[in-house]
Amino acid sequence: MKNIEKFKRDRLPFFSALGFGLLAYGFCMLNKIPVGDDLNPLGLFGKGATTESGRYGLELLRLVMPDASMPWIYGLMSILMLSAAVCMIVRLFEIKSPVLQVLLAGVFVSFPAEAGTMLYMFTAAPYALALLLTVTGVWLFAAEKKSRWLTAPLLIGFSCSIYQGYLSIAASFCVIRMIVLLCRSERTALAVFREGVKMLAMLLASLALYGLALLGASKLLGFPLLGEVINEKQSFPLRFLVVYSSWAKTLLQGRFGYVPNAVSRVMHFVLLLVIAAAMLAQLRKKGEVSSLLLAGLCLFLYPLSCYCLYLLADNSYIHSLSLYSFASLYVLCAALLDEWETPTALTLRRVSSAALALILCVNIYYANALYLRYYLRFEELKSFYTVLLTRAMDTPGYSEGDRLAIVGGVPALTYDIDQHFTDAPLSLPSLELGSTAYAEYIIKEYLGCDIPFASEKEKARLETDDMPVYPYDGSVQKKDDLIVVKFSTKEGNA
């Protein structure tokens, strides 16, 4: 009976997240949209520098989640795990309002960071599992479950071993929990402060467990410890400055694509105003100066908790997939407004619900526009390379065994599909799709042509200064046993 009651409690946020997830990512799940490392349909690229970058858990998950890119299977697995994570969030902050549950489920599961992650289908499901483990760890600790000092650090530590970026979700949820306890509970500021110290200790224990496992794995397998991932270029004061400036730029300039257009930006500022008003009203009613001061400190630390990854990782490793924690802003808003029954609360709840609904609509539209953009871009590239192959094989003297040598960087396509998409772009961890680094995979895996390619050493010896740039006459020539195609200068090779 207990399990049935739990299912009844979770079914609204679960199925809401599932439905909105399918609306946002259905196009991506029903089509193969090649981007970067996911370009190879069989996942032969692998998951990149897993062990070297400290993601040994991602390496272990290959045993149950192979690298093959399967949009429908891994996409559905991801949405199901994200839906379960939403249920954990609803439990963690005891959000009972059906409207807030539905809207929170929608904005969290459709967050643009996940839209970007879905483009890398061979890692989408492991990353969703990492997010679920993180949220579950915080929930277990906050619910004061038995052995919470062991289970929570283990779950969050293993989540870090899959993808370190989700540590910031745990940190931001801990800060939000302190704010909510100060505003919605009868606990004193001292009691909440003590709870905050315990949560900080739990986060440090999670990092310690992750670090110990990482050190052991490094010694056992003999790979470098984190390599160039650690931020060693910036002083700590500068890192703190980068944290707050990046969080502000996310709101003001659309950095990372989390706030992709003007409508979303206005609605986010509305949420910030609602959060401020709700905190002030509830803290004033409580009437404790110490609670007000501690809440102000928590609010100051909140952006730091969201983007704490900047304190640890080199900035070049931080991109749109890394900072899902920005979505905790919606959790903070919903948690503050739930079960607060005053005329002011009713007004703020209506305003925030309208803002969340508009953000949800923008997110779903943005995800589908993003996938359409990459889908059309790849169709364009396939046509481009089909014509190129035809010209290469029609080159006078072309014979069996001739190798294709593409010289230069990203080709200038005659029509730029990107001009139709004006929302703030995601920053993805890969080369431009049109880069010649991907030419061989497109030609072999998607066009089915097993033409051999010249090595980099062979291309470096070529003299192409007298050749015009593709697609003009003379840009495709046979030189010895190479069919040379010149996109641009050698220095532009990508």
* pLDDT tens sequence for the chain (494 residues): 566 666 678 899 999 999 999 999 999 999 988 887 777 655 544 555 566 677 888 888 888 888 778 899 999 999 999 999 999 999 999 999 999 999 999 999 999 999 999 998 888 999 999 999 999 999 999 988 778 899 999 999 999 989 888 999 999 999 999 999 999 878 899 999 999 999 999 999 999 999 888 887 777 766 666 656 676 677 878 888 989 999 999 999 888 889 999 999 999 999 999 999 999 999 998 888 999 999 999 999 999 999 998 888 777 778 888 889 999 999 999 999 987 888 888 999 999 999 999 999 999 999 999 999 888 888 888 888 899 899 999 998 888 888 998 887 766 665 566 666 666 677 776 666 667 777 888 888 888 888 899 888 888 888 888 888 888 888 899 988 899 998 875 444 33
How far apart (Å, rounded) are the C-alpha atoms in residues 333 and 335?
6
423 close to 369: Cβ distance less than 8 angstroms: yes
How far apart (Å, rounded) are the C-alpha atoms in residues 389 and 408?
16
Residues 6 or more apart whose Cβ sits within 8 Å of residue 393: none
pLDDT value at position 98?
94
Give buried/exposed letters for 269-303 (b at 16+ CB in 10 A, else e): ebbeebbebbbebbbeebeeeebbebbeebbebbb
Q: How many CB atoms lie within 10 A of CB 186?
A: 7
pLDDT value at position 151?
94
How far apart (Å, rounded) are the C-alpha atoms in residues 117 and 123?
8
How far apart (Å, rounded) are the C-alpha atoms in residues 111 and 91?
20
Rounded to the nearest 10°, the torsion over CA 301, 306, 311, 315 is -140
How far apart (Å, rounded) are the C-alpha atoms in residues 368 and 28?
8
How far apart (Å, rounded) are the C-alpha atoms in residues 453 and 81?
42
pLDDT value at position 236?
79
- Per domain, the residue ranges of the chain are 2-371, 379-492
107 close to 19: Cβ distance less than 8 angstroms: no
pLDDT value at position 494?
39
How far apart (Å, rounded) are the C-alpha atoms in residues 6 and 81?
17
